[in-house]
Amino acid sequence: MANAPEQTLQWMGGPQGYLSLIDQTLLPTQLQNIDCHDVETVWEGIKLLRVRGAPAIGIAAAYGVCVGIQTLDFTNTSKGQLRQRIEEICSYLATSRPTAVNLFWALGRMGDKAAALLETEITVAQVAEMLLQEAKDIHNEDRAMCHAIGRHGAVLLADGMGVITHCNAGGLATSEYGTALSLFFTAQDQGKDVTIYVDETRPLLQGARLTAWELLRRNINTVLICDNMAAQVLREGKAQAVVTGADRIAANGDAANKIGTYGLAILAKHHGIPFYIAAPSNTFDLSLDSGDEIPIEVRSADEITNGFGRQTGPDGVETYNPAFDVTPAELIAAIVTEKGIISPVNKDNCLKVLQS
């Protein structure tokens, strides 16, 4: 019997409640939650990857708005003061991670909802209640999208297939089944037996710490490999497909995902293996014509030279630590969304499926 997915994050209580989330920096050895009673804790959780994965970041940010407005006395606050506070919160949370479009999408949705509500005759307290409901709607919609992605994408996986995945695009990155991992979980639900080769995903080991942990809890055949072993796994014919998630997808289908994804797509192309991306429609940023316009977050040197508290690089060495790379659309066999499969991947097909 497969274990139920963990609740990566959840809201506890009513409008004066709080956000509780799994501290993913402690996995796989400790399963521990952080309770976020202020917006600073939410920001810190996103920035330090306690919560990560584009959809989960967006959900956390939406709840972060609800946490942040609790500094106001709802019974003695004007709508103008609430509007100003929401703008401050959204601007602040937007500085936590620059690449994941879901963060900005969720903050924009919460801001738009607040603006509309503040034009009505309802009270500030009622606005707070309805903003919490909006955040919960974002959460529930993501859960439904993940299941739909799995239903559409599982047809790409055959019984007995081997698949390589990179980073973590499971329930820990979303609200339940995940995006890339939703294909594997749904295939399992359908009775298919698949083997997943999990890239460790340097330098923060999201594949080793998170994806392998999730897959094992679901009793899915799981083989952990170092990132630089993927080429050999493909050469030996152990994997017949590659499936990853994405953090932002441009209008033409170019997709940003965890660093190392681009190289994996090149390897798949060389070996004649399809490379698939699974992502919800809100991961698309149609304001960007191509992946050249996607901002790439560069993180601290310590992640490379002192990963997990042990020094592995000499003092004074220079580093370059981009957290993401961009895979060109021509290397992507298909993008699986909750609305259907985009293939071949180009601007016209992206718009056709997204607008369906």
Beta bridge partners of 195: 162, 221
What number of other Cβ atoms are within 10 A of residue 307's Cβ?
Answer: 15
- Judge contact between 324 and 99, C-beta under 8 A: yes
> What's the CA gap between 36 and 320, in Å, rounded?
32
- Judge contact between 69 and 128, C-beta under 8 A: yes
Task: List the one residue out of 44, 34, 21, 53 whose CA is nearest residue 211.
Answer: 53
CA distances from 198 to 17, 88, 212, 317 (A): 37, 40, 7, 30
Task: Catalytic residue, from 142, 199, 247, 285: name it.
Answer: 247
- Catalytic residue status for 315: no
> What's the CA gap between 319 and 335, in Å, rounded?
33
Task: List the one residue out of 190, 211, 178 whose CA is nearest residue 338.
Answer: 178
Task: List the one residue out of 209, 223, 291, 297 whose CA is nearest residue 258.
Answer: 297
Catalytic residues: 247
